[in-house]
Amino acid sequence: MRILLVEDDETLADGLSRSLAEDGFDLTVAATGTYADSALRTQDYDLVILDLGLPDIDGKEVLRQLRVRKSPVPVLILTARDGLDDRIGGLELGADDYMTKPFELRELEARVRALIRRSHGGFGHDIVCGPLVLNTFDRQVHVNGEPMLLPSREYGVLEALLLQAGRVVSKDRIALRLASGGDELADNAIEVYVHRLRRRLDDLGIRIRTVRGLGYLLERPAGE
């Protein structure tokens, strides 16, 4: 699960990044509103944690532009602005939740998990597909109760396809989910990961179908 943390306080950003990474999240930090807006236009995230008091453009403008583009990504505002008008204004602009600083880390983590669950149809930690169970928070995969060990990028492809099971997921969308820290993927990297996953999943009755010119579609086992 990918989170964009928009926070200009370096100490706070570092602490939150470490804590959420330990929970299995992939964090990108944006210290300015300009960088955050650019990242949200070009990257795919499961959640945005957004400070309002940024050094360039206000966080509310970042949120406004996000909703103008009709992006459904959930947004949790995390700010020192605790006035009623600020809270109402943030929620009316399209934020999904609002927390003020200082805050309890456990509460923040719980709200993060709840927002991501809600945005993906309300599931808990587990996505079940036939005999396969993928836990989105500890990033573990089990088949008939036995662990299936996957390299991190194969796990990323599988998670992306399972979250959209029955729908086509573009190669670009998968690549955006896998990219981190500015890493670039080779042109044929996604095909390689999909090929490896197919070999692992075929015997489970789970098919990954190539939809030419569009992307990939994960088909659940017959009867589900």
The yes-or-no verdict on residue 124 having pLDDT over 60 is no
User: Once rounded to an integer, what is the mean pLDDT over residues 128-149?
Assistant: 88
Residue at 89 is within a domain: yes
List the one residue out of 180, 22, 181, 4 whose CA is nearest residue 105: 22
- Do 136 and 115 sit in the same domain of this protein? no
- Do 153 and 109 sit in the same domain of this protein? no
- Do 98 and 131 sit in the same domain of this protein? no
The sign of the torsion formed by the CA atoms of 163, 166, 167, 168 equals positive
For residue 30, give the CATH number of its domain.
3.40.50.2300
pLDDT in tens, 28-44: 999 999 999 999 998 88
Position of tokens 């583009």? 69
Give the residue from 89, 119, 149 where a domain finishes: 119
Mean pLDDT of the chain: 88
For residue 195, give the CATH number of its domain.
1.10.10.10
pLDDT in tens, 6-25: 999 999 999 998 888 877 78
The yes-or-no verdict on residue 181 having pLDDT over 80 is no
% pLDDT > 90, the chain = 56
Interior/surface letters 115-136, b for 16+ CB within 10 angstroms, e for the rest = bbbeebeeeeeebebbebbbeb
Q: What does the pLDDT read at residue 28?
A: 93
Q: How many distinct structural domains can be found in the chain? A: 2
- Do 97 and 170 sit in the same domain of this protein? no
- Do 67 and 86 sit in the same domain of this protein? yes
| Domain region containing 38 | 2-119
Q: Which pLDDT band, with edges at 50, 70 and 90, does 125 fall under? A: low
